[in-house]
Amino acid sequence: MESEPSTPDLPVNSPFEKGSSYELVSKGKLRAYEIHSPGPNSSPIYYIESNETLSKSKFDLLLHKGDSKNGVILGVAKRHLRGFTIGLGDPAGEIEGKPIIWEKLERPEKYSHKIYHFDFGKGEQRKTYTFRKSTGRTGRLKSMELRIGGVDEEDGELVAKWIGSSRWNMKNGSLFLADTVKKEQDQSAVREGHANDLEIIVYLTTFAVIESQVRRSKG
């Protein structure tokens, strides 16, 4: 599989207290991300396929179980002018009556890309989640936090944090998720691949924001 030039990784430390989070490591590939457990010899748990497309019938990101785009599709993301449409599940399965959950990942300001937010959950459990990015002088993404709460609630509970591990490749880094993410939904909501819906939407929205930043850097 063709990959982008390798770059040395920078040290990454968890923003959570010891034992209260879990880590996934992203290794950027050409038009893809490989998502691993920490460790030099780990195999990909997920594979995110990236497509730059204007077609309404194709998706910009597809999250697959396993190490290639041949794996089961766990979710998708479609880019639009002010964000992404996120789908949990395989859209092809809707034809067979398998439900898919659709949500919106949006940025509140037309000309600013520092903040993105989305809503997720059912009934009284529905919450707003907000990303805030930290960038370098050249505009390259360094890190971002995902917290519960709206745009004006900067001190909400920390759900996840992305920390870049390369000065040159924004696709490389670590995603730390609070252990509460795994416990958020009961087992009836767990999809194939042993990830619940909240985990999947955190993965998709995180890498949608990263992908958006990668594409903007090319322009």
Question: Does the pLDDT at position 169 exceed 60?
Answer: yes
Residue 200 falls inside a structural domain: yes
Residue 26 falls inside a structural domain: yes
Q: What is the pLDDT, as a whole number, of residue 1? A: 40
Q: Are 23 and 15 in contact (CB under 8 A)?
A: no
Which pLDDT tens digit goes with each residue over 106-158? 999 887 899 999 999 989 989 999 999 999 888 789 999 999 999 999 999 99
Cα atoms in the 13 Å half-sphere on the side-chain side of 103: 25
Which domain range does residue 180 map to?
21-218
CA distance 83 to 105: 5
Residue 9 falls inside a structural domain: no
SS in 3 state form for the chain? Answer: CCCCCCCCCCCCCCCCCCCCEEEEEEEEECCEEEEECCCCCCCEEEEEEECCCCCCCCCCEEEEECCCCCCCEEEEEEEECCEEEEEECCHHHHHHCCCCEEEEEECCCCCCCCEEEEEECCHHHCEEEEEEEEECCCCCEEEEEEEECCCCCCCCCEEEEEEECCCCCCCCEEEEEEHHHHHCCCHHHCECCCECHHHHHHHHHHHHHHHHHHHHHHC
Higher pLDDT, 123 or 12: 123
Q: What is the pLDDT, as a whole number, of residue 11? A: 67
Number of domains in the chain: 1
Residue 78 falls inside a structural domain: yes
Q: What is the pLDDT, as a whole number, of residue 185? A: 56
Q: What is the pLDDT, as a whole number, of residue 57? A: 80
